[in-house]
Homo-oligomer: A and B are copies of this chain.
Amino acid sequence: MRSYGQICGIAKALEVIGDRWTLLLIRELLTRGPCRYTDLRNGLPGIATNLLAQRLRELERAGVIRSEEALPPATGILYRLTERGQALEPIAKAIGDWGIPLLNDVADDDVFQTHWLLLPLRSDLQDTAPERGPVEIQLDAEDEPIVVEAVDGTVNAYIGRAQDPALVLHGSGRTITRLLFGRITLAEARRRGLRIDGDPGQLERFRLKLDAVA
């Protein structure tokens, strides 16, 4: 990116992470961990392949990511965040939080990938009833399944299947996303095809940490 020419931390930071696609690329590495070129391209639908290559070069030069050969027996190149790159997580979180109200206006051809939910699920949900013991919720949307678990008051989320979920939500990513972030009610979600197996009351244990999400 062309320099802003300002002696200002925000301006200097934006010269590194302010380009189109760059923060979404960072999001992929934050949620997925080390990725290959193809993983990144799949997580960034619509990016031109030459542009992805260029962004990777720039970020490596800036010390935000590092590329390395995958350990045998795996093959190919892995891209991973450096420590400096990991330090971008508060930025991703702040931006994602601010974006939650915008999840109302999704276009019909907007795409969804379950792992995009992981960062906000981890940081924005709290368990309001830890005394009721650990709980697992299974989310089944378009692609990979997600487990949301609350243990001792801390919420975690990861890709995978729960052995014994208290609750399974099954529906479109669009509907599940909006339900989880309080954009629609449970009744509305059902009307939009959400299927629920298990105890819906478990859902009320989880609450958004953010106060005024308008």
Q: Which residues of A contact B (CB under 8 A)?
A: 1, 3-18, 20, 23-24, 27, 45-46, 83-84, 87-88, 90-103, 105-107, 109-113, 116, 119-120, 173-174, 177, 181, 212, 214
Contacts and interface: CB of A to CB of B under 8 A. Distances in A.
18 contacts: A1-B20, A6-B24, A6-B45, A7-B110, A7-B111, A8-B24, A8-B99, A9-B103, A10-B92, A10-B95, A10-B116, A13-B95, A13-B99, A14-B23, A15-B102, A18-B20, A83-B214, A84-B101
A4 B43 CA distance: 12
Copy number of this protein in the oligomer? Answer: 2
Contact of A110 (B5, B17, B88, B212): B5
Nearest to A27: B10
A171 to B, nearest CB: 13
A6 B115 CA distance: 12
Given A8-B27, A13-B95, A90-B94, 6 more contacts: A5-B46, A6-B45, A9-B97, A10-B96, A10-B119, A91-B95
Contacts of A91: 91, 94-95, 98
Given A94-B91, A116-B7, A102 B177 contact: no
A12 B99 contact: yes
Q: Which of A24, A97, A99, A177 has the most CB of B within 10 A?
A: A99
Contacts of A83: 214
Interface of A is mostly: helix
Contacts of A6: 24, 45, 110-113, 116
A91 B170 CA distance: 33
Contacts of A24: 4, 6, 8, 10-11, 14
